[in-house]
Amino acid sequence: MQTLKISNAHQIIFMTEKRTELSDLGEFGLIDRIQQQVTLHNATSLKGIGDDAAIISAGEESIVVSTDMLLEGVHFDLSYMPLQHLGYKSVAVNISDIAAMNARPEQIVISLAISNRFSLEAVDALYEGIRAACESYKVDLVGGDTSSSVSGLIISITAIGRAPKNNIVQRSGAKANDIICVTGDLGAAYVGLQVLEREKQVFLTNPAMQPDLEKYEYLVGRQLKPEARMDIIHDLTERKCVPTSMIDISDGLASELLHLSKHSRLGVKIFEDKVPIDHDTYETAIEFKMDPITCALNGGEDYELLFTIAPADYEKLKNHPDIHFIGHMHDNPNQNVMISKQQTLVPINAQGWNHFKGE
Ligand code: ADP
Ligand code: MG
């Protein structure tokens, strides 16, 4: 058995030796490093770190497990995020990772750290939203943990889902010439966040001003009340289409495309004019002097699904009103590009959210 060497307390506290900033690695670099250092001991652990959810063998079926943490001040701002919505959203973002495996969610567990700034009524409001999400996704809240907190509210949710073994879809299964599909529309949640941030600033300078959000209802709704696309998972099953690879869009289309490219060891080629952007997103991005396609590529929190299908499956999906075909996979993993509306070749770079840099 391996034993751990315990350093003395002085070393632990001051860590006087080499120091590398986490921002040098970024979130994905850090996860890669953790993954490289981990060995799996059980044959039932079919897939560990590296996908939207872990895959655990359960006979003819597989269980998928995913966890996500939401921190006050990092992932949400309670000055414009009602607690009911926060409860709903924290479940939805976890269900989205289960959807991204082409599985069905069945259970969640919730860990809560909560400071004395919050009342019982506040916790009730949060759980009202959590229960609403459990109802709409038909999942059962089966446990969790509760702790006090010195830094506001922290919600960590783990979701568990299930699917027949052969239906599970990973990030790594795409083949050259597979068609890249995306659901819904992109960039709205990010633009919605900009609207909310602007209104917050207006309110802080003049508390008598009540925000008029009617014009931005769709965008704000996409930020405050995202839905996991379980409806798409049902439609795919109904149409007997199993994607070859899939991921949910939490960090922005560009970042997720690069994950598919890396894991499938292929390149992606997409077309700007095929990327779905809602009219309100487009207009409001311009109002904020932002490029709408940049919001779609690098804005986060859309929770749409990005997946690839074999060309032979195109017929099954081509009439789906909410699935868009934006490009294809190709052999060169080092060439991830977008063909712009002006027909120029634009390299796809991930900006995503780098929490360590405080973005
Ligand atoms: P997502 O955006 O879909 O939630 P993440 O980028 O958070 O996915 O995580 C990617 C992979 O890394 C997942 O398999 C996740 O379980 C794993 N992971 C993330 N953070 C850690 C960590 N601190 N320790 C171990 N695994 C982690
Ligand atoms: Mg995910």
Mean pLDDT confidence for 86-104: 98
The model's confidence at residue 354, banded by pLDDT at 50, 70 and 90, is very low
Strand, coil or helix: what is 269?
Answer: strand
Mean pLDDT confidence for 38-64: 97
Provide φ and ψ at 14, rounded to 5°: -95, -20
Instruction: Give distance in angstroms: CA of 101 to centre of ligand 2.
Output: 9
Mean pLDDT confidence for 193-216: 86
- Which one of the ligands is nearest to 99 CA? 2
Is residue 232 predicted with pLDDT exceeding 90? Answer: yes
CA atoms of 265 and 334, how far apart (whole Å)? 9
The model's confidence at residue 338, banded by pLDDT at 50, 70 and 90, is very high
Mean pLDDT confidence for 157-186: 98
The model's confidence at residue 355, banded by pLDDT at 50, 70 and 90, is very low
Interval 255-303: pLDDT, tens: 999 999 999 999 999 999 999 999 999 999 999 999 999 999 999 999 9
Q: Report the interhelical angle of 230-238 vs 83-99 (nearest 10°).
A: 30
Indicate the range of 17-21, 88-92, 187-191 predicted with least confidence: 17-21
Instruction: Give distance in angstroms: CA of 109 to centre of ligand 1.
Output: 17
The residue whose CA is least distant from atom 17 of ligand 1 is 49
pTM of the model as a whole: 0.92
Q: Which atom of ligand 1 is nearest to the CA of 250?
A: 2
Instruction: Give distance in angstroms: CA of 34 to centre of ligand 1.
Output: 10
The model's confidence at residue 55, banded by pLDDT at 50, 70 and 90, is very high
Q: From start to end of the chain, where are the E strands? A: 45-47, 54-58, 61-71, 104-114, 140-148, 154-164, 179-183, 245-249, 267-271, 304-309, 323-330, 337-339, 345-347
DSSP-assigned states of every residue in 213-256: -GGGHHHHHHHHS----HHHHHHHHHTT---SEEEEESS-HHHH
Residue 211: its pLDDT value, please? 74
| Ligand 1 neighbours by CB, cut-off 6 Å | 31, 34, 49-52, 68, 97, 250
CA atoms of 230 and 169, how far apart (whole Å)? 14
Q: What percent of the chain has pLDDT over 70?
A: 93
